[in-house]
Amino acid sequence: MARKTLKEATAIIKSLVLQFGAEHSIPGIGPVISTMNLSALEEAFEFLGWPDMMPMPEMKCGVPNCFEWATCGTPCRDGYLRCCEKHFSEYSGRKRRLPKT
């Protein structure tokens, strides 16, 4: 097996951080991922150039003013909605529209 390139190793470290970092939701900010002060994660975050409590805006629930992690997805009247579990149960299988921002 060929040795991994730096680019491949970086992608692997990012994947590990996303899998094992702690997920938090901060009101007004949204999803962030932290090291929980675990030294291996701190080194990985440093390698990636990430601060502890790294914002993950692409993981935010698609419902306006919800700052939870999008862990589910469902079709809704405004298209496909990536959302948190709470909003999945509110929008899944219904013809409901997203609130205006």
Question: What is the binding site for Zn ion (CB under 5 A)?
Answer: 61, 63, 66, 68, 83-84, 87
Q: CB 51 → Zn ion: shortest distance, Å?
A: 24
Q: How far apart are CA 24 and CA 10, in angstroms?
A: 23
Q: CB 63 → Zn ion: shortest distance, Å?
A: 5
Nearer to Zn ion, 17 or 31 (CB): 31
Nearer to Zn ion, 32 or 83 (CB): 83
- Three-state DSSP class for 33? strand
CB of 34 closer than 8 Å to CB of 22: yes
Q: 57 is written with which tokens?
A: 């805006």
